Amino acid sequence: MGVGVGALTPLSPGQAAAAADPAAWLDVHGDALYAYALTRVRVPAVAEDMVQETLLAALGSADRFRGESTERTWLIGILKHKVLDHLRRSIREQPLDEQVEEDTGHVAGYFDHTGHWADQPGAWGDPEGALQQEQFWNVLSDCMERLPERLRTLYALRELDGLETEELMRVLNISSRNNLWVMLSRTRLQLRQCLEANWFSP
């Protein structure tokens, strides 16, 4: 399953017409919503419940949908809030940053003081074009599956959802910016190695 690919794929004219009918939301958007939730919570039953809760919440507020975004974007926005609430509850008693200090030396040489690559990744061709390819999303999904659960969650929220530092620390109960930096650096390094080996290599 591609990471987020369902959310990025444009709807066909028939799907777009059907999406205007709330009764069709599950058929039209269900797979994309489920893929989004599963990438972040990793438990199929929980992801399914969140999709149902999202559709129910959307039905209750359908009159407030102004059409300023696509219906899918609007639904995923509702789902995103439910995912964050779930993560806040589930992680509250399990801080993400335990024992990360010891990894600082392992990743520090790969990044400069701003958090950017000190040694740029190898030739990755056309990354913008790659993001539009379903095969790339499948490889990225496989690479994310190899990450420890905590780092996978952090990466999804930061890079796929765009959460800022303070919100990440609050949602995931990370105690310091340094620990967050170490975790993100370790995650990016592991994904870089996996993508270079499985996608960008000749």
Q: In this structure, what CATH number is given to the domain that contains residue 158? A: 1.10.10.10
Within-domain flag for 23 = yes
pLDDT digits (tens, 9 = 90+) for 72-100: 999 999 999 999 999 888 876 555 554 45
What residues contact 59, with CB distance under 8 A and at least 6 apart?
22
Pair 192, 113: CB distance under 8 Å: no
Domain identity same for 139 and 65: no
**Least confident range of 8-17, 145-154, 155-164:** 8-17
pLDDT digits (tens, 9 = 90+) for 178-198: 888 888 888 888 888 888 888
CATH number at residue 72: 1.10.1740.10
pLDDT digits (tens, 9 = 90+) for 31-79: 999 999 988 888 899 999 999 999 999 988 877 777 778 889 999 999 9
Domain identity same for 128 and 193: yes
Query: For position 166, what pLDDT does the model report?
Result: 93
Pair 75, 55: CB distance under 8 Å: yes
Query: For position 37, what pLDDT does the model report?
Result: 93
pTM, two decimals, is: 0.66
Within-domain flag for 69 = yes
Within-domain flag for 96 = no
Domain identity same for 83 and 27: yes
Domain identity same for 71 and 129: no
Instruction: Please count the structural domains in the chain.
Output: 2
- Residue 167 lies in domain: 101-200
Domain identity same for 87 and 107: no
- Cβ neighbourhood burial of 130 (10 Å; 0-12, 13-18, 19+): middle
Domain identity same for 46 and 128: no
Domain identity same for 110 and 189: yes
Pair 186, 120: CB distance under 8 Å: no
- Residue at a domain's end among 39, 58, 91: 91
Domain identity same for 131 and 195: yes
Average pLDDT over residues 124-132: 55
Domain identity same for 19 and 83: yes
Domain identity same for 70 and 123: no
Domain identity same for 184 and 116: yes
- Residue at a domain's end among 91, 125, 140: 91
Domain identity same for 106 and 183: yes
